[in-house]
Structure 1
Amino acid sequence: MKLNTIKPAIGSNVARRRVGRGIGSGLGKTCGRGHKGQKSRAGGFHKVGFEGGQMPLQRRLPKRGFTIYGKQATQEIKLSDLLKIGQNAIDPNVLFEHGLVKDTRTRLKVIWSQCTVDKALIIKNIQVSQGARAAIEQSGGAVEFTQKEANGI
Structure 2
Amino acid sequence: MSAETVTIGEAARRSGVSAKMIRWYEETGLLPPALRSDSGYRHYSEADLHTLRFVRRARDLGFSVEAIAELLALWHDRARPSASVKAIAQDQVADLRRRIAELEGMARTLERLAEACCGDSRPDCPILDDLAAGDAAPPPRRRRRPGLPGR
Q: Shorter chain as normaliser: what TM range?
A: under 0.3
Is the strand fraction higher in 1 or 2? 1
- Rg larger for: 1
TM-score normalized with structure 2 length: 0.23
Is the helix fraction higher in 1 or 2? 2
